[in-house]
Structure 1
């Protein structure tokens, strides 16, 4: 489990809400992957970026990034995964297993 709250917000989307000081792309992807695994979704499944960092819908005044496990339901077009890690391009995607790799060594992932 990581330290970022996750909130379902509808249209098959959920948001990872920033907590604390500086939050980077690896933190958001880590938390989204961890969330998917906690739901019992297979680690080989892909998740997709729906919206770049912006104001949270679930936590007024907070910042969040929106993701989905179902791009069709969320209305996002999958793209070829980006070479550099970011949370800026809707449709960017990776497997839950790949995302959880960003948890290791960050203090966000606990066994």
Structure 2
């Protein structure tokens, strides 16, 4: 019985990743950390939806997972478009396409680097380790 419930739950997640999720017709991708990503195509900006308790590493983790889902290379740059600080209750909009000069926003992460307007997909995925360590109980 538990196998059937697990299979049904897995099917539900797969289906939810393939159907429009809002009136604009954007698609939904749900990360294993339960963050929700809304997107139209890989060339368009995508949004990691707001969820109470998420911090900058959570949003970057979701962006990195989305890059994986799109089969992009680990060296693909991800740019933040949402200003920091973002409006209360708002998600963060990212893009894989280099934005016009001045449009990319600081990452919102503490970084020792001269490149503060983007992360590679690999660096974004690495933020999932920060999220995991923060949520594990010792």
TM class, shorter-chain normalised?
A: 0.5 to 0.7
C-alpha contact 1:17 1:63 (8 A) present in aligned 2 = yes
Aligned length: 93
Q: Flag as ranges the 4+ runs of structure 1 deviating above 6 A.
A: none
Q: TM-score if structure 2 supplies the norm length?
A: 0.55
Please tell me whether residue 94 in structure 1 is matched to residue 82 in structure 2.
Answer: no
Structure 2 residue runs of 5 or longer lacking an equivalent are 1-31, 111-115, 134-138
1:37 is aligned to 68
Greater helix fraction, Structure 1 or Structure 2? 2
**Which of 63, 67, 71 lines up with 2:98 in the alignment?**
71
The offset of 1:54, in angstroms, is 3.8
CA RMSD of the aligned region, Å?
3.0
Structure 1 residue runs of 5 or longer lacking an equivalent are 56-61
Question: What SS does the aligned partner of 2:75 have?
Answer: coil
1:17 is aligned to 49
Give deviations 1:61-85, integer Å, cap 9, x for gaps: x52100000124xx46476x76x61
Compare 10-19 and 33-42 and name the one that shifted more.
Answer: 10-19
Q: TM-score if structure 1 supplies the norm length?
A: 0.67
